[in-house]
Structure 1
């Protein structure tokens, strides 16, 4: 790899190698899967270090943290992606600062984002978050509500719907984890058959991305495997 120390550069290279290996194991082209570095809870300097490696797109869970980092790094051409649950009253900042929202899960939020984006004169990419895990703590649209929801989103031209996102169940049971990812792919395929263009599947994190790739992920969201142990507990 050229990097042997426990540095961000070494971790990034290792993650990229592991993603490529998972793609090959699944019979897929590594070029089909992108990595979204998740910088939540990590400071501005960690992001700067990642930018020095050529990374320009970062995932954040909270609007407040995205706002603080985007202000501190305003001189850099970065794309900020909201991947955490978004409260409707935070839609204004999301519409102003985010290049993408991956956690769109209700019509109320779609309406708020559309209204704020119109005021900003912007349009952004969005992914619909679907709840494929039985865990109460997980957010997302119920799978049976997805068809009607996608139909309604056609009325919000500022929201460019690009695909679906999910969080798998937190379990040591590999079959249960893969079932969550498989469910999202099946939902995407059914929506595609109904005429929706949803090329992207954002699923899989540091602990389960090989399973997600095996089930068709086009993007994996990686935090600790790139940035290291989180400095504070992440909710």
Structure 2
């Protein structure tokens, strides 16, 4: 009389829960060293940020606006130029037979403006210069924030892609064990079908996660090319809200 060794079979609901939880498990056991990698090979986040700041046209336009405001301060401080008048003509008497004579006149005038008016004009020019400086700071902060947001999102998506690949590898091992149990008759065939469906889903997640980092870096490329920081910020905020 042959004795069959009893096998330890997990309940179907527990097995499905384990399969669906492989992705968070892969995220947890993913090596931490990958998180310290640079988002772009050969460039750190600070280097990418500097490239964006040096090539963005919005920031350059804000700098030119500040230079124009500084020139406005010099113009506001300048005193008005004196005015020279030169007139000439012929003068003829209204009565009598006297002949006409040539008349020439020279004149010089200097505008004396109110000190309060001149001071107010200078204050306005300085206020415009300060406003231009605040605009530069705002544009710069927006660019730095958006660039770093895109960099960390790219790193996050790369980590998710690695975790999805690890989950797919674990699912392949689980599927192989299920196939052995199905071939030996210890499990019904639909268990193998369920394992194949889980592998297909995990492969789709991996492929989708791999396509995310390049798409995230399009934000940084657009910022470096000179796209509007506020427009890109609104788009990035919408993407964050969607995700």
**TM-score, length of structure 2 as denominator length:** 0.20
Larger relative contact order (Cα-Cα within 8 Å, sequence gap ≥ 6): 2
Larger Rg: 2
Higher strand share: 1
Higher helix share: 2
